Chains A and B, each alone.
Chain A
């Protein structure tokens, strides 16, 4: 399968995604989601679901709110940051929210300034930040950063 194929499938959901501003990386894997992938956890699906089926840090409220997500990433050393632009010795992640302000997606900045995203239970892609905005995930609500780790 070439990237053209997923792009055709993805375009109705992510209208700004093109072959020029994105590239596929890892094929389908339902073992983890974007919230986990933002912190490079490929073993668990992170979500604060009320049924308590998915992983969520024990000390963080199981609420689908931006504050709860910031708190969850805060346990791993991330704090609010003003810019999404690349900075030396900083690791950054972004959280996207829907029109209702509920978190929908997270992405992790790569060393070249692009962003790594896991698309639900589907594939991973790398992309420019604005390429992911759209009806499915909404827009970037916050940028978090921490000191780069080896």
Chain B
């Protein structure tokens, strides 16, 4: 009869739930009012649990898929428009702005690959503007300025 120890099992919903219950229990204990260390421990366990349930790599992939779907919808619906304001007010465009700074690398990747009217979003999210006044409206120059900005900030490779 084999006595080998059982193979390590992949996390299941049940084990995940158990971890979450433990975290909640610890949180309850810390809420009674103990040390700052226990609060810190609780926070780290919460982060660990969150990471365990939904790893960062999967989050990135999910964000990118969502971005691609929204960008495609925006392009289809606004391709005939001259109004930059109407393009930027499209619900898909607004959702991308709502993704905040997490979306910057994806927007810049898309700007590099497909160009597109991302200047409003980039400025709205970053609150910066690397485009010099003389280049306003010059799509090639604006694209170059934002890609240079993205590389300098470490959002994309140079």
Which residues of A does B touch, CB under 8 Å? 10, 13, 30-36, 43-47, 49-56, 64, 102, 104-106, 118-122, 136
Give Cα A34–Cα B79 distance, bound, in whole angstroms: 12
Pairwise interchain contact B85-A47, C-beta atoms closer than 8 A: yes
* Count: A-B pairs, CB below 8 Å: 82
* CB within 8 Å for A45 and B81 given contacts A51-B119, A51-B123, A53-B120: no
Q: List B residues at the A interface (Cβ < 8 Å).
A: 78-85, 88, 115-117, 119-120, 123-124, 129, 131, 136-140, 142
Given known A-B contacts A53-B131, A55-B136, A47 and B120 have beta carbons under 8 A apart = no
Q: Return A3 CB to nearest CB of chain B, in Å.
A: 16
Contacts A13-B80, A47-B137 aside, 12 further interface pairs with beta carbons under 8 A come to A31-B140, A36-B137, A44-B137, A46-B137, A47-B83, A47-B85, A51-B124, A53-B142, A54-B137, A104-B81, A105-B82, A120-B82
Choice from B117, B131, B136 contacting A121 with Cβ under 8 Å = B117
- CB-based contact A64/B83 at 8 Å: yes
Main secondary structure of the interface of B (DSSP, over half): loop
Asked if B78 and A120 make an inter-chain contact with CB atoms under 8 angstroms apart, the answer reads yes
Q: Which of A13, A51, A55 contacts B120 (CB 8 A)?
A: A51
Does the CB pair B79–A120 fall under 8 Å? yes
**Sample (17) of A-B pairs whose CB atoms are under 8 Å apart:** A30-B117, A36-B137, A44-B137, A44-B138, A47-B82, A47-B84, A47-B137, A49-B85, A49-B120, A50-B85, A51-B120, A52-B136, A53-B123, A55-B136, A55-B137, A119-B79, A120-B79
Chain A residues lying within 8 Å of B129, measured Cβ to Cβ, are 52-53
- Say whether, besides A53-B123, A55-B137, A56-B136, A119 and B80 are in contact (CB < 8 Å): yes
> Which residues from chain A contact B116 at a C-beta distance below 8 Å?
30
Q: What chain A residues lie within 8 Å of B85 (beta carbons)?
A: 47, 49-50, 64
Chain B residue numbers with a CB within 8 Å of A56 are 136-137
- Distance in angstroms between the alpha carbons of A119 and B140 in the assembled complex: 19
- Write the chain B residue with the least CB distance to A49: B84
Whether A136 contacts B80 by the Cβ 8 Å rule is: yes
| Complex contacts, B123 vs chain A, CB 8 Å | 51, 53
Q: Is the CB of B79 within 8 A of A54?
A: no
Cross-chain contact A43 with B136 (CB below 8 angstroms): no
Expressed in whole angstroms, the minimum distance between the Cβ of A6 and any Cβ of chain B is 11
Please name the residue on chain B nearest to A35 by beta carbon.
Answer: B82
Q: Report A98 CB to chain B, min CB distance, Å.
A: 9
Please, how many angstroms separate the alpha-carbon atoms of A64 and B82 in the complex?
12
- Chain B residues with Cβ below 8 Å from A31 are 138-140
Q: Please, which residues of chain A bring their CB within 8 A of the CB of B139? A: 30-32, 44-45
Residue on B with the closest CB to A102? B83
